[in-house]
Structure 1
Amino acid sequence: MAAAPASADNKENRFVFKVAIAATMGALAFGYDTGVISGALPFMTVPAAQGGLGLTPLTEGVVTSALVFGAAFGSLMAGSLSDRYGRRTTLLGLSLVFMIGVLGTALAPSVAVMAAMRFVLGLAVGGASSTVPVFIAEMAGPSRRARLVSQNELMIVGGQLIAYVLNALLAHFSDSPNVWRHMLGIAAVPAVLLGIGMLLVPASPRWLASKGRMKEARAVLQQIRSSDAQVESELADMVKLNKIEHEQTGWAAVMGTPWIRKLLWIGIGLGFVAQLTGVNAFMYFTPIILKSTGLGTNAALFATIGNGVVAVIATFIGIWLIGRHGRRPMMLTGLGFTIATQAALGTVLLWMPDGPLKSYAALACILCFLLFMQMLISPVYWLLMSELFPMRLRGVLTGSAVACQWLFNGLVALLFPLAMAQFGSATFYVFAAINVASYIFVAACLPETRGKSLEELEKHLQKKLA
């Protein structure tokens, strides 16, 4: 008798894992597209006659941040689309947008076209960033939700690591002045895999239930749950929640509900926390930071591989931790370490003389920062984006909160080169001070979400924030 439930559990685990892998191809594309720019920028700054685009500090910021601001719009649009047409259908459409953006950036003849195509690519990146965690969370059971959603973060940093490795290898072995075009064009691979993957997996049962398609929702649950009792229990919760939510009369009335409004503000605040750590100043501009210490371009690109390696290792550890510890203590601990490492980096860059020792010390500070950021803050942020919001508005509210996160990301990407040119290494002290404010916000406002089904969590948050 014991063998049957074990076999059913294994079948459930395999199927949900397959769904997670297919969906996180969007996260892999997201990671590659955000990481590849760090290697492409040094080659794009050379004059157009030599194969580059002649970027200046201002246009570096514009090209880098164009993707990020596109992602803000993409996450907003994808949130509404995923509520209307479903998570799976939205991701299928985003795979096509990824392809258009990839081809456009790889073939761009000018700065203007590059910025426009990076914006298009950003629409897909942002859409994937808000849709993938929600899709996985709605497919996973409560006991596996944290780890499966955290695989989204693993694929993001995995994509960034692949980008850093390929950037360094292409820079070392290719003599082509168009090497940066090859770097950008490789992003077509995860875009194609996302489209194929979405053709092979079912729609979210929670989305189907929200549309009254209970027969289809039951059929999907029977594929991804190990017992009929689990299926019927989840269906009953979905039906009960649908009745309550159908009594509400549209977006304006829901946004007038204080506890949902508070949740949205918490979600927006968490986006500020995640981005104003300064993480993407390192993910986009580490080669430029290291070059400022006297390191050569190729050496800086190879050193940047350390960013990706540390981020992947840290995310593995974070996935292990997130199943054992609460969201609040993980994020607060991570913020404590980011404050210390940002202050240490500012000190190294300001006070140490130029040379190899300064380069290695700066790289060590960056790697320590990324270790704690990717282990304790990033996985928790993306998990919270999949958990916090009520079912019928999960797509649009997640999209709105993630859009704000991308706007904060874009401000960092746009202003960081200018801040470094104007204020130098003191910029990192500013990040440390902002992280102190973020620590206070998380300690005061973030509710704990661990250990509940999405339906139970919704009831819990309504009671806590009402």
Structure 2
Amino acid sequence: MTSQHEPLIAANSRHHAADNDDDDNFDNFDNTSDREDSDAQSALHADKQPDESPGLFLWLLTFSAGISGLLFGYDTGVISATLVSIGTSLSDRPLSSLDKSVVTSCTSLFALLISPFASVLADAFGRKRVILAADGLFIAGAVIQALSTTVASMVVGRSIVGGAVGAASFVIPLYIAELAPAAHRGRLVTMNIVFITLGQVVAYIVGWLFGAYGSETTGWRWMVGLGAVPAAVQTVIVVFMPESPRWLVKAGRSAAARDVIARVSGQRAGSRRLVDATLKNIETEVREEAEARRLSNRRTNRRTNRRPGWRDSLYELFGIRRNRRALAIACLLQGLQQLCGFNSLMYFSATIFTLVGFPMPTLTSLVVAVTNFAFTLIALSLIDRVGRRRILLWSIPFMIVGLLLAGYGFSYIELSSNSSATQSSAPAAQGAAVVILFSIMMYVAGYAIGLGNVPWMQSELFSLSVRSIGSGIATATNWGANFVIGLTFLLLMDALTPTWTFALYALLCAVGYGLIWRVYPETAGLSLEDAASLLEDDNWGVR
């Protein structure tokens, strides 16, 4: 395996004579590491079976972890129907555009605040415990929302759910990526996105049912309260799920890691050799990163016998070129995923379709959610075959066209000065409404195939020592951009008009396309260790 720290390791070998006291723990590794690394790589390449489907145990783990994605999607989608169903139930008055923006964006704000903190907890206590903590927050937030009587209490409930979403959106893709074989990693991580989009579909169906047939005063309370049910189910399931083998190795529990890798590999031919090779690869990376960190600590006159903390991880993240590049790419993709404006449709789709005159806006929003779900399923079959980079470069142009076409459709609709009011019902506006619906479906299809799922492959860009904190910062970027979109969408619609708001999102997509073409390498089919090494190249690994 080509090490990210070869120059540092070479430098260390020149200092062995002077530093025998510090290097006792590494001498045994140095004599055999080259041979072991070669053997491990040979076994990995000999035993990879890219055409064989993941085993049943791995699918069960993915589905169990994916419940968090379902909750993520449900809480994202249910607010759309809730906003048009609340009426005067909160604070005894109709919600203003600012009320709607704050209730919506507080979820993203707290997701932004929690996701980096969750990355530290995931390194210290393991991935499973963070999932359990997120489930507890999901339950608490759902109950508080359902019992809310004021805008302020609703904001509190949505903020708690935001903390849960921030933790889950970071840890679930990381957990799945660290369990999955390289040949199927993209498909299995995308399964989490399938659950997110399924949660959005369920949210719109629930919103439509309670909006059409439920009580006007309590229907929306059931919408938000039902989010506690999947979280309670997952809390029970997670207790029986294994920990990530890479975290176990890092925590010094290689025997437990071997058991997990063996269970994930199943009973396939040669699986024992594959288990040994995978474990050896992980151990080698952990050893090399510990060695590099020790050298770095010595060079900066730090104590070398203390346990590395989050400050050391931050130093590695920003001090090593390939880690800086991984963070730049991950933050670019996560930021673009939100700044393209997609979640403005998820949060405010019912509001948008009310504006353009559809008689059943929540049911119309369901069409958008189903489009998102259907094309995410298509992405599931393409992501490992087509590749991450190529699927983005193919799909983003459809998003740009869809946004521009939606802006063009809005130019034929006359809105009042306040975006919460309905538009006039001129015949031209009715035709424009159909154009807007079609263009939004085109945009959502492009998003679902590419930008909706590829950014969540971020963990494969980072080396193990910074994978958790790097993924946490990238996820925080996602939620920071999400907060901006949720807070400003309705205000931009009022200030710039819908036409120019959608044109602005199209411009951001075009800028993102150029940056992706320039710096994002292809990582499909590579092990996590090999994928991270791409960013050592002068051309950022882009071939």
What TM-score range do you get, normalising by the shorter chain? over 0.9
User: One-letter code of the match for 1:435?
Assistant: C
Query: What are the residue-to-residue correspondences of 1:111-150 with 2, within 5 Å?
Result: 111-150=151-190
Distance, in Å, in 1 between the alignment partners of 2:81 and 2:157 is: 18
TM-score, with structure 1 as normaliser: 0.94
User: One-letter code of the match for 2:530?
Assistant: E
User: One-letter code of the match for 1:265?
Assistant: A
Deviation at 1:48, TM superposition (A): 3.8
Q: Which of 312, 325, 328 is 1:262 aligned to?
A: 325
Distance change in 2, residues 1:307/1:53 (3 Å): farther
Deviation at 1:401, TM superposition (A): 0.4
Name the structure 2 match of 1:404: 477
Distance, in Å, in 2 between the alignment partners of 1:80 and 1:393 is: 10
Asked if 1 retains the 8 angstrom alpha-carbon contact of 2:313 and 2:469, the reply is no
User: One-letter code of the match for 2:315?
Assistant: A
Deviation at 1:251, TM superposition (A): 2.4
Name the structure 1 match of 2:132: 92
Q: Which of 287, 309, 314 is 2:375 aligned to?
A: 314
Asked if 1 retains the 8 angstrom alpha-carbon contact of 2:85 and 2:211, the reply is no
Query: What are the residue-to-residue correspondences of 1:236-385 with 2, within 5 Å?
Result: 236-247=280-291, 248=293, 249=297, 250-254=312-316, 255-296=318-359, 299-351=360-412, 355-383=429-457, 385=458
User: One-letter code of the match for 1:235?
Assistant: L
2:463 maps to 1:418: no
User: One-letter code of the match for 1:257?
Assistant: I
Distance, in Å, in 2 between the alignment partners of 1:26 and 1:166 is: 18
Deviation at 1:386, TM superposition (A): 2.8
Deviation at 1:176, TM superposition (A): 3.2
Distance, in Å, in 1 between the alignment partners of 2:331 and 2:429 is: 41
Deviation at 1:252, TM superposition (A): 4.4
Asked if 2 retains the 8 angstrom alpha-carbon contact of 1:290 and 1:362, the reply is no
After the TM superposition, which of the residue ranges 447-456 and 143-152 deviates more from structure 2?
A: 447-456
The CA deviation string for residues 348-400 of structure 1, in whole angstroms up to 9 with x for no partner, is 011255543222221111111111111122121212x2311111221111011
Asked if 1 retains the 8 angstrom alpha-carbon contact of 2:412 and 2:429, the reply is no
Query: What are the residue-to-residue correspondences of 1:182-197 with 2, within 5 Å?
Result: 182-197=222-237
TM-score, with structure 2 as normaliser: 0.81
Asked if 1 retains the 8 angstrom alpha-carbon contact of 2:521 and 2:534, the reply is no
Deviation at 1:12, TM superposition (A): 6.1
Distance change in 2, residues 1:189/1:144 (3 Å): same
Distance, in Å, in 2 between the alignment partners of 1:308 and 1:196 is: 29
Deviation at 1:21, TM superposition (A): 0.7
**Partner SS for 2:100:** helix
Deviation at 1:427, TM superposition (A): 0.8
User: One-letter code of the match for 2:336?
Assistant: V
Name the structure 1 match of 2:522: 448
**Partner SS for 2:521:** coil
Asked if 2 retains the 8 angstrom alpha-carbon contact of 1:12 and 1:223, the reply is no
Asked if 2 retains the 8 angstrom alpha-carbon contact of 1:83 and 1:393, the reply is no
The CA deviation string for residues 11-37 of structure 1, in whole angstroms up to 9 with x for no partner, is 961000011011111110000001000
Distance change in 2, residues 1:282/1:52 (3 Å): farther
2:47 maps to 1:47: no
Asked if 1 retains the 8 angstrom alpha-carbon contact of 2:107 and 2:163, the reply is yes
Name the structure 2 match of 1:20: 62
Q: Which of 105, 110, 121 is 2:150 aligned to?
A: 110
Name the structure 2 match of 1:223: 263
Q: Which of 74, 90, 106 is 1:66 aligned to?
A: 106
The CA deviation string for residues 65-99 of structure 1, in whole angstroms up to 9 with x for no partner, is 01111111221121111111111111012111111
The CA deviation string for residues 230-259 of structure 1, in whole angstroms up to 9 with x for no partner, is 110011111110111112142243121122
**Bigger proportion of residues as helix:** 1
**Residue ranges of structure 1 left out of the alignment (5+ in a row):** none
Asked if 1 retains the 8 angstrom alpha-carbon contact of 2:321 and 2:536, the reply is no
Name the structure 2 match of 1:76: 116
**Residue ranges of structure 2 left out of the alignment (5+ in a row):** 1-46, 298-311, 414-425
Asked if 2 retains the 8 angstrom alpha-carbon contact of 1:53 and 1:111, the reply is no
Name the structure 2 match of 1:203: 243
Distance change in 2, residues 1:294/1:196 (3 Å): same
Distance change in 2, residues 1:200/1:179 (3 Å): same
Name the structure 2 match of 1:386: 459
Name the structure 1 match of 2:24: none
Identical aligned residues as a percent = 31
Asked if 2 retains the 8 angstrom alpha-carbon contact of 1:52 and 1:177, the reply is no
**Partner SS for 2:129:** helix
After the TM superposition, which of the residue ranges 455-464 and 306-315 deviates more from structure 2?
A: 455-464
Indicate the RMSD between aligned Cα atoms, in angstroms.
1.9
Asked if 1 retains the 8 angstrom alpha-carbon contact of 2:111 and 2:162, the reply is yes
Name the structure 1 match of 2:43: none
Deviation at 1:193, TM superposition (A): 2.1
Asked if 1 retains the 8 angstrom alpha-carbon contact of 2:333 and 2:451, the reply is no
User: One-letter code of the match for 2:339?
Assistant: L
User: One-letter code of the match for 1:239?
Assistant: E
